Chain A
Amino acid sequence: MTLAVQHLWLIPALPLAAAVIGALVPRSGRTLAAGAAIGAMAGAFLLACLALAGALADPAAHQVFNFNWFDLGHGALRLGFLLDPLTAFMAVMVTFVSLLIFIFSTGYMKEDANAKQFFCFLSLFAAAMLGLLVANSLLLLFVCWELVGLASYLLIGFWFHKPSAAAAAKKAFITTRIGDLGFLLGLLWLQDAQGTLLFYDGGAGFLEPAALANLSALLPCGLAASTAIGLLVFCGAVGKSGQFPLHVWLPDAMEGPTPVSALIHAATMVAAGVFLIARVYPLMAADQALANVPIHALTVVAFIGAITALLGALIATAQNDIKRILAFSTVSQLGYMMLALGVGSWVAAIFHLLTHAFFKALLFLGAGSVIHAAHHEQDIRRLGGLSGKMKVTFITFTIGTMALVGVPLFFSGFWSKEAILHAAHGWEVSHLPFYAAVLGVVLTAFYNTRLMAETFFGSARSDNAGHAHENGPAMTLPLVILAAAAILLSLVNLPSYPWLQAKLLGEHEVHGHPIFEGAGLMGLSVLLVALGVGIGWALYGRHPRAKAESPDPLAARAPGPMAALANRLGFDELYAATVGRLNDTLATLSDLLDCFVWGGVIRFLAGLGQFTGLVSRETDERTLNGGFDATSKGLRGTGQAYSDAQTGEAHGYLRTLALGFVILLILVVLGGAR
C-alpha cells in the first residue's frame, strides 16, 4: 500500500487541521489541543511512510500532480505536488522528529498556562514545513517557506513577556526576511525567464534539461542567468539556514521554549535552506559546464558553507549558555551541509541533514531536560554533576554528542560527516573549504567535550543544579528513541552499502565499495576528533571547575581572542553600527521629512480648508440666510393680515360688502353714468 502523489496534500493537511483545533479550543482545552497535535502528527508520519514506499518503488521517477491555481491572462498559475525520494525521506524525518518533540513538549510545557496555543503553533509549523517538502512549485514552496518563518516568529516569541524573547523573535523574522527578498527576486526572475515555477512538469518544468538550456545565456555582467537566479535563491537559504553573514538570528532564537529550538531551530526549519538548494540542484549546477563564466553558483555556496562551518564552531567554544553552544553548533553543521552542496555532493548534504536532525533534536531535548530539571538554569558554569542525578538524560546526551562529534564507526554523524569531508577533499576548485572543515572537526570535538564536562561532571555549582532530578517518561522516552535513531541511522548509508545515496540518485542497484576505502582521510578525521576531545578533556574534564565564578581555563590563557569569541566576534555590534545605524538615520530623516515637509503641507491644506469653511459659513449666514429671512418675514406678515381679516363675524363681511358697493356706486356716479 502506497500513498499516491495526488493524495500527498493529506500529509500537511493533518497537522493543519490540528492547528485549527488548537486555535478554536478554549485555554482549558490543552489536553485536546495536545492530543490533536500528536494524533495528527502520528497520522502524518504513517502517511509519509506510505509515501516513502511509493517513492522507493521507482526512485528515478519524479511523480508529480499539477493543477491550475488560477488563470492569468492567457496562461495559468500552476501549483503542484511532487513525490520523489528526496521529498519522501525528508517528510518521514520531519514527521518522526516532530512527533517525538510534540510528545516531549507535553512534559516540558506542563506548567505553562498557554500550552494549547503552543501546540497550535507547533502544528501550524509542521503543516507549513510539510507543505514546503511536498511542493512541486517554487511559488508554493515560497509560500510555505514564509509560513514556517511566521511559525518560527510566533514560537521564538512564545514567552513574549520577556523582552529578550520579543526582540529575538523580531530579529529572526527581519534577518530571514533580508534573505527572502533575494529569494523572491530570484523567483520572479525565473517566472519571467521560464514562464513556469513548477519543478517537474513532464519536460516543461524549470529543473528539466530543456528549460535549463535556456538559462545558460550570459548576462551583460558575465554571469550566466542560471548563476544569478541560483545565487538569489541561495540568499533565501542563507537567511533561513543561518549561514554567514545572516547567521546572527539563530543563536538568539534560543529564547524560545526548548522543544521549539529542537524542532525548528535545529532539526527541520533551518535545514529547509539545505533542502531548497538540494531541490533546485539542477538549476544551481546548470552553469558547471560553462567554462568562461567568472564564478559558478555552487562555488559561492561551498565557500559560504565553509566559512559558516568554521565560524560557528569557533564561536561555540566561548559560549556559556547550553542552548547557545548548541545553536552555534547548529550554525556550524548547517555550514557543513552547504559545503557538501557546494562541492557537488548533495546526497552527502541530505544524509548529514537527516542524521543531524536526529542527533541535534536529541541534544536539544537533552538540554531541555537538563533545563527543566535545573529550574531553568541554562548557564553551564552553574550546572555540573548531573551525570548521577539524570542517568537517562546523561546517557542519551552522550550518544548525541558522540554522533555530533563524529566518534567513529558506530554513530550516524561520523558517516555523514565523513561523506562531506570526502566530497570536500575531492573538489578540484579549491582546497580551502576542506581545511576549514577539518579545523571545524577539531573545534566541534573540543566544544562538545567542554559542554559535557561542564554540565554533567564535577560537582553541582548552584542550588538549582543540586536539586535536579530525572524527568518523567514523556520527556525521557523521546530521548531514548532519538538516541537509538542517532546510532541506527548510520546503517542506511554505510559506504559499503550506500542505500540512501542510491535511492536519492534514482538508481535501482546499490553499488558499494569497501568500507575502509579512503582510510587515510578517515584516519585523519579520527585523529582530529581524538585531538579535540583530548584538549577539551585536559582543559575542562581533568580539573572540573570548583565554583561557578571560577575563571575559564581557556579564557585565562588567551583572554583577548576568547573575549572576542564570547562576544560572537562582534557581528551583532557590527550590524548594529552599520545596518542598524543606517536604518536609524533613514528613519530619523523620514521622521523629519514627515514632521516638517509633509506635515507642513498637510497643516497648510488643513488651514486652507478651515478658512474656506469659515468664509462659506459667514456668506451663508449673512447673505443667503438674511435674504430668505426677510422674504419669509414679509410673507408671514401678509398672511397674518389676511388671517386677521377673517374675523368670523358674518355682519362684518356684510358691512364690508355694502361699503364696497357704496364706493363702487360713488365711483360710477362721479365718473358719469355711461
Chain B
Amino acid sequence: MNPLQLCLILSSLLFCIGLAGALARSNTILVLLGIELMLNAANLNFIAFWRYGPHAAAGTGVIFVIFAIAVAAAEAAVGLALVIAVHRHRKSVRLQDANTLKG
C-alpha cells in the first residue's frame, strides 16, 4: 500500500466515526462534534491528494485547508450560539426537542 491509500483509509475511518457519532448522539454539542470530525476527514483528503499529487511544490492544498478550517470555526461558532439560544429557550440541548421547525 502506498502512503496515499493509507491516508485515504484513515480519512474514511475518520468520516465514518464522525457520521456514526452525529447519527447516534442526541446531545446537540456532540452531534456538532461528529460533524466537525467528518469535515476534518475531508480536509485530510485535501492534504493527502496535494502531498502525493503532481504539484506538491505549490502550497495550494495547505491554503485550501486553512481556509476550510477558518470557515469551519465560524460555522462552529454559529452552531454553538444556536445551541445556547435553544438551551435558554427550552432548558435542553437534546436535538429531538428542537423539532418545531417543520412543514
Please tell me which one of the listed residues A645, A651, A654 contacts residue B103 in the complex, with CB atoms under 8 A apart: A645
Known: A654-B23, A655-B23, A658-B19. A648 touches B100 (CB 8 A): yes
List, in ascending order, chain B residues with CB within 8 A of A645's CB.
103
Once the chains bind, are B103 and A643 in contact (CB under 8 Å)? Answer: yes
A-B Cβ contacts below 8 A, count: 32
| Interface residues in A636-667 (C-beta closer than 8 Å to B) | 642-651, 654-655, 658
List, in ascending order, chain A residues with CB within 8 A of B102's CB.
646-649
Once the chains bind, are B22 and A654 in contact (CB under 8 Å)? Answer: yes
Q: Report how far A655 CA is from B23 CA in the complex, Å.
A: 7
Once the chains bind, are B23 and A648 in contact (CB under 8 Å)? Answer: no
Once the chains bind, are B23 and A647 in contact (CB under 8 Å)? Answer: no
- Nearest opposing residue in chain B for A641, CB measure: B103
A-facing mask of B19-55, CB < 8 A → 1, else 0?
A: 1001100100001000000000000000000000000
Q: Report how far A646 CA is from B99 CA in the complex, Å.
A: 10
Known: A655-B23, A658-B19, A658-B23. A649 touches B103 (CB 8 A): no
Once the chains bind, are B103 and A646 in contact (CB under 8 Å)? Answer: yes
Q: Report how far A485 CA is from B8 CA in the complex, Å.
A: 143
- Asked whether B1 is an interface residue with its Cβ less than 8 Å from the other chain, the reply is no
| Interface residues in B87-103 (C-beta closer than 8 Å to A) | 95-96, 98-103
Whole-angstrom distance between the Cβ of B93 and the nearest chain A Cβ: 12
- Nearest opposing residue in chain B for A640, CB measure: B103
Once the chains bind, are B31 and A650 in contact (CB under 8 Å)? Answer: yes
Whole-angstrom distance between the Cβ of A639 and the nearest chain B Cβ: 9
Please tell me which one of the listed residues B22, B26, B31, B101 contacts residue A648 in the complex, with CB atoms under 8 A apart: B101
B-facing mask of A362-400, CB < 8 A → 1, else 0?
A: 000000000000000000000000000000000000000
List, in ascending order, chain B residues with CB within 8 A of A647's CB.
99, 102-103
Once the chains bind, are A650 and B98 in contact (CB under 8 Å)? Answer: yes
Q: Report how far A648 CA is from B96 CA in the complex, Å.
A: 9
List, in ascending order, chain B residues with CB within 8 A of A649's CB.
96, 99, 102
Whole-angstrom distance between the Cβ of B27 and the nearest chain A Cβ: 12
Q: Report how far A119 CA is from B102 CA in the complex, Å.
A: 87
Whole-angstrom distance between the Cβ of B95 and the nearest chain A Cβ: 5
Once the chains bind, are B95 and A651 in contact (CB under 8 Å)? Answer: yes
Q: Report how far A235 CA is from B95 CA in the complex, Å.
A: 109
Chain A residues bordering chain B, tally (CB within 8 A) = 13
Whole-angstrom distance between the Cβ of A432 and the nearest chain B Cβ: 114
List, in ascending order, chain B residues with CB within 8 A of A650's CB.
31, 95, 98-99
Q: Report how far A650 CA is from B28 CA in the complex, Å.
A: 10
- Nearest opposing residue in chain B for A645, CB measure: B103
- Nearest opposing residue in chain A for B20, CB measure: A658
Whole-angstrom distance between the Cβ of A221 and the nearest chain B Cβ: 98
Once the chains bind, are B96 and A642 in contact (CB under 8 Å)? Answer: no
Once the chains bind, are A651 and B19 in contact (CB under 8 Å)? Answer: no
Whole-angstrom distance between the Cβ of B102 and the nearest chain A Cβ: 3
B-facing mask of A260-289, CB < 8 A → 1, else 0?
A: 000000000000000000000000000000
List, in ascending order, chain A residues with CB within 8 A of B100's CB.
648
List, in ascending order, chain A residues with CB within 8 A of B23's CB.
651, 654-655, 658
Once the chains bind, are A644 and B99 in contact (CB under 8 Å)? Answer: no
A-facing mask of B68-103, CB < 8 A → 1, else 0?
A: 000000000000000000000000000110111111
Q: Report how far A651 CA is from B23 CA in the complex, Å.
A: 6
Please tell me which one of the listed residues A643, A648, A654, A658 contacts residue B99 in the complex, with CB atoms under 8 A apart: A648
- Nearest opposing residue in chain B for A651, CB measure: B95
List, in ascending order, chain B residues with CB within 8 A of A644's CB.
103
List, in ascending order, chain A residues with CB within 8 A of B101's CB.
646, 648
Q: Report how far A642 CA is from B23 CA in the complex, Å.
A: 23
Once the chains bind, are B103 and A642 in contact (CB under 8 Å)? Answer: yes
Whole-angstrom distance between the Cβ of B70 and the nearest chain A Cβ: 24
List, in ascending order, chain A residues with CB within 8 A of B99's CB.
647-650
Whole-angstrom distance between the Cβ of A669 and the nearest chain B Cβ: 13
Q: Report how far A243 CA is from B37 CA in the complex, Å.
A: 125
Q: Report how far A655 CA is from B96 CA in the complex, Å.
A: 13
Q: Report how far A646 CA is from B26 CA in the complex, Å.
A: 19
List, in ascending order, chain B residues with CB within 8 A of A643's CB.
103
Most buried by A among B26, B31, B99: B99
Whole-angstrom distance between the Cβ of B34 and the nearest chain A Cβ: 9
Whole-angstrom distance between the Cβ of B64 and the nearest chain A Cβ: 22
Whole-angstrom distance between the Cβ of B71 and the nearest chain A Cβ: 19
- Nearest opposing residue in chain B for A650, CB measure: B95
Whole-angstrom distance between the Cβ of B52 and the nearest chain A Cβ: 18
Most buried by B among A642, A644, A645, A650: A650
- Nearest opposing residue in chain B for A644, CB measure: B103
List, in ascending order, chain B residues with CB within 8 A of A655's CB.
23
Most buried by A among B23, B95, B98, B102: B102
Q: Report how far A610 CA is from B48 CA in the complex, Å.
A: 83
Whole-angstrom distance between the Cβ of B40 and the nearest chain A Cβ: 17
Q: Report how far A224 CA is from B103 CA in the complex, Å.
A: 101
- Nearest opposing residue in chain A for B34, CB measure: A654
- Nearest opposing residue in chain A for B35, CB measure: A654
Q: Report how far A25 CA is from B95 CA in the complex, Å.
A: 89
| Interface residues in A114-150 (C-beta closer than 8 Å to B) | none
- Nearest opposing residue in chain A for B23, CB measure: A654
Q: Report how far A651 CA is from B98 CA in the complex, Å.
A: 11
List, in ascending order, chain A residues with CB within 8 A of B26's CB.
651
Most buried by A among B31, B99, B100, B103: B103
Q: Report how far A650 CA is from B101 CA in the complex, Å.
A: 10
B-facing mask of A287-298, CB < 8 A → 1, else 0?
A: 000000000000
Q: Report how far A658 CA is from B22 CA in the complex, Å.
A: 10
Q: Report how far A552 CA is from B19 CA in the complex, Å.
A: 138
| Interface residues in A587-646 (C-beta closer than 8 Å to B) | 642-646
Q: Report how far A642 CA is from B19 CA in the complex, Å.
A: 26
Whole-angstrom distance between the Cβ of A24 and the nearest chain B Cβ: 75
Whole-angstrom distance between the Cβ of B59 and the nearest chain A Cβ: 29
Q: Report how far A647 CA is from B95 CA in the complex, Å.
A: 13
List, in ascending order, chain B residues with CB within 8 A of A651's CB.
23, 26, 95-96
List, in ascending order, chain B residues with CB within 8 A of A648's CB.
98-102
Q: Report how far A647 CA is from B98 CA in the complex, Å.
A: 11
Q: Report how far A645 CA is from B19 CA in the complex, Å.
A: 22
Whole-angstrom distance between the Cβ of B36 and the nearest chain A Cβ: 14
List, in ascending order, chain B residues with CB within 8 A of A646's CB.
101-103
- Nearest opposing residue in chain B for A649, CB measure: B99
Q: Report how far A655 CA is from B100 CA in the complex, Å.
A: 18
5 intermolecular pairs with C-beta atoms under 8 Å apart: A647-B99, A647-B103, A649-B102, A651-B96, A654-B22
Could you list 15 further interchain pairs (A-B, Cβ under 8 angstroms) beyond the known A644-B103, A646-B102, A649-B102?
A: A646-B103, A647-B99, A647-B102, A648-B98, A648-B99, A648-B100, A648-B101, A648-B102, A649-B96, A649-B99, A650-B31, A650-B99, A654-B23, A658-B19, A658-B23
List the 4 closest A-B pairs by CB distance, nearest first: A648-B102, A646-B103, A643-B103, A648-B99
